[in-house]
Amino acid sequence: MIDLIPAIDLIGGKCVRLTRGDYSSKKEYGDPLDMAMQFEDHGVRRLHLVDLDGAKAGKVVNYRILEEIASKTRLVIDAGGGIKSDEDLRIIFDSGAAMATGGSIAVKEPEVFEQWIVAYGPEKIILGSDFSEGRIAVSGWTEATGEELMPFIGKWTGKGITRTICTDISKDGVLEGTSVNVYREILEQFPELYLVASGGVASLDDVELLVEAGVPAVIIGKAIYEGRIGLKELENFIQYKS
């Protein structure tokens, strides 16, 4: 019905959450491996791992943590943050990621990103379509671009992309509900797209709204860390509805 994908965002080797991408709003939640193992113990199969240090530095930084989680769990991990070169991508895959998410690279070096789609296949390369006020934002959300969301997605589906993680930055970390109408519009234009909604989930009621809209997958972050969605509650949802 819908894939539930918990998120682990990394700064300084710790699980953190930000609010609307603001690094000064950082709140720590402990050890990423411990959290990943808890997710797995409660029936989670997918994990979204974001190297926020890497996003800020412009290169992959926390790949050792990715390696540890990949080697000690069976989670299917998509990794993002700081993947700006062929070497970054190699490191991510060598460290155990099943998929890599690229956003900034798709804007700033589209020829390279297109080469990755051809070399690795669209099942392994995810488009990061993070937006603010309808326009794509990059570099750890610190940089706005002139790229509009719908044409951006359309351009890359035309080049073979079949998966995108789409985050409304204004919703991220504020626990006020998702941009379900935007996701519905995306799927109306691109019905075959594996769209991963991200940002704003405060409860499983928000997930139900995404199910009704036909969204294939959703990333859940702060709602889990703040106890709005308990791990047992997550497990029951996965067992009976996903």
Residues involved in catalysis? 9, 130
Angle at 228 (CA atoms; ends 225, 231), nearest 5 degrees: 65
Q: Which long-range contacts (CB under 8 A, 24 or more apart) does 228-235 make?
A: 228/175, 228/202, 228/203, 229/201, 229/203, 229/204, 231/38, 231/39, 231/42, 232/42, 233/204, 234/4, 234/6, 234/42, 234/43, 234/44, 235/42, 235/43
The sign of the dihedral angle between the CA atoms of 169, 156, 100, 193 is positive
Q: What is the token pair recorded at 159? A: 């080049």
CA distance 59 to 53: 9
CA distance 45 to 105: 27
